[in-house]
Structure 1
């Protein structure tokens, strides 16, 4: 009898281990969530919180919003996951969508999801149309993708925090301290590579009467060498949400991607969560 009980305990333990191994990670759940806009798979609804909050102004809160999208029928949209990293309960994804309904061409996005008790409780995004030409020769999405230097996560986050304080102060002559000189790789299509590319663009925009203003850093996310800053500001007279992704190497910024999205008037929103509540 004792042997039978021990055997049963061992079997139950193996089953529990197997079930634990089959549990999806946060990154896997986040990818499945976004991928469902392509596949239409309703399986993802199992790990969406009933009261999920949306920070995309076109989407109402609640799980039922996503039930309308996920019907087990492919949408015709194609999604490419370019970079994925994680900071505690947040998963950050750098994505490209093709043939997404409502857009005239491919879009580049940052999608962020927050987990609570294993379920997706909030979703943020910043969206821009893909641009086919750039003065730096780089696209909005190419470049390094491998996460490394995990032990330096907090130090790298501090590098970006200091850099963003310079940008908030408007003392642009000080940015060279944080950027790896002319080796700096730029993925914003209107800015050339190198520190000089950044400074020249700022001056050019000023002569055109367009001031780039950073008002507040709302959040900085990081995993290893990748750091994303979420910033509220303006381009000219347009309130703007800035998502700036940096790659850090040896304590300096060596590569930069961004998405700028004009903030719509609040009366047009389908929810009251705002773009910057983290």
Structure 2
């Protein structure tokens, strides 16, 4: 064994890995910046030129009420400006070509409510926003836990655990939310700290159990059936799922924060999936 040769190879490999990691991180930051600029162009400046430059011409829209294509968004800008809509972004995370933002929209009557909480998901292609999914829900001013629907931790950390945390959340969705092995719930949720931001659910496993019992008593069924989108960055994992709630097709957009290989905090936006949409792209 030539120790010098092995050492040189290991050094080269570690240097390559560090450069690749930095390149990936820079691309994620660039994607986040692009999405931030797009949100500002559409919902703060209402600027048709900037919006047209930031969106792909064949922009694919999944919001059920908005037609597909960049032209539809640009045509909607004057009405948005007149409405006085105001966005606030609380969290932003990215993986690959996807960026997720956790937002509150005030004066959001154009989208169906005075104040709405939302998850927006954007796909980036060739330096432009090429596709958009979202889920919106009325912002609750009172919650069982006392937490708001958007407060809580925001700092992204543990970047080296993104893949592990993503796999854990995917397993949690399959085992618990899809009902494949619900008895494994404590394999995924922390028994010490579980902070809940769903307005109808209290903190801890006991709060979750109480909410599920109340739903059962009211005859409200809930089931996750498919999870087309999962985005992980560090200690945050976002998942967009299709399912059924109260016998209606439903979209469940969930954000989880993890610590020490357990889910310790949860935010969500839940909305019915309408049968009729302004396009043929579907909710997902």
Q: Same fold (TM over 0.5)?
A: yes
Q: Is the 8 A contact 1:154 1:222 kept in 2?
A: yes
Structure 1 residues 56 and 72, CA, compared in 2 at 3 Å: closer, same or farther? closer
Alignment of 1:13-162 (within 5 A): 25-35=30-40, 36-42=42-48, 43-70=50-77, 74-75=81-82, 76-102=84-110, 103-162=112-171
Answering whether residue 248 of structure 2 is matched by residue 238 of structure 1, we say yes
Alignment of 1:161-172 (within 5 A): 161-166=170-175, 167-169=177-179, 171-172=181-182
Equivalent of 1:186 in 188, 196, 199: 196
Unaligned 5+ residue runs, structure 1?
1-20
Structure 1 residue 73, shift from structure 2 partner: 8.8
Instruction: Give the TM-score normalised by the residue count of structure 1.
Output: 0.86
Structure 1 residue 71, shift from structure 2 partner: 5.6
Structure 1 residue 74, shift from structure 2 partner: 4.2
Tell me how far apart the structure 2 counterparts of residues 156 and 146 of structure 1 sit (CA, whole Å). Answer: 15
3-state SS in 2 of match to 1:176: helix
Structure 1 residues 25 and 71, CA, compared in 2 at 3 Å: closer, same or farther? farther
The range that moved more, 93-102 or 143-152, is 93-102
Tell me how far apart the structure 2 counterparts of residues 208 and 229 of structure 1 sit (CA, whole Å). Answer: 27
Q: Is the 8 A contact 1:55 1:274 kept in 2?
A: yes
Tell me how far apart the structure 1 counterparts of residues 207 and 183 of structure 2 sit (CA, whole Å). Answer: 13
Unaligned 5+ residue runs, structure 2?
1-25
Tell me how far apart the structure 2 counterparts of residues 197 and 182 of structure 1 sit (CA, whole Å). Answer: 13
3-state SS in 1 of match to 2:109: coil
RMSD over aligned Cα, in angstroms? Answer: 1.8
Corresponding position of 2:18: none
3-state SS in 2 of match to 1:68: helix
Tell me how far apart the structure 2 counterparts of residues 249 and 112 of structure 1 sit (CA, whole Å). Answer: 24
State the Cα deviation string for residues 118-140 of structure 1 (Å, max 9, x = none): 11110110000000101111000
Tell me how far apart the structure 2 counterparts of residues 252 and 164 of structure 1 sit (CA, whole Å). Answer: 13
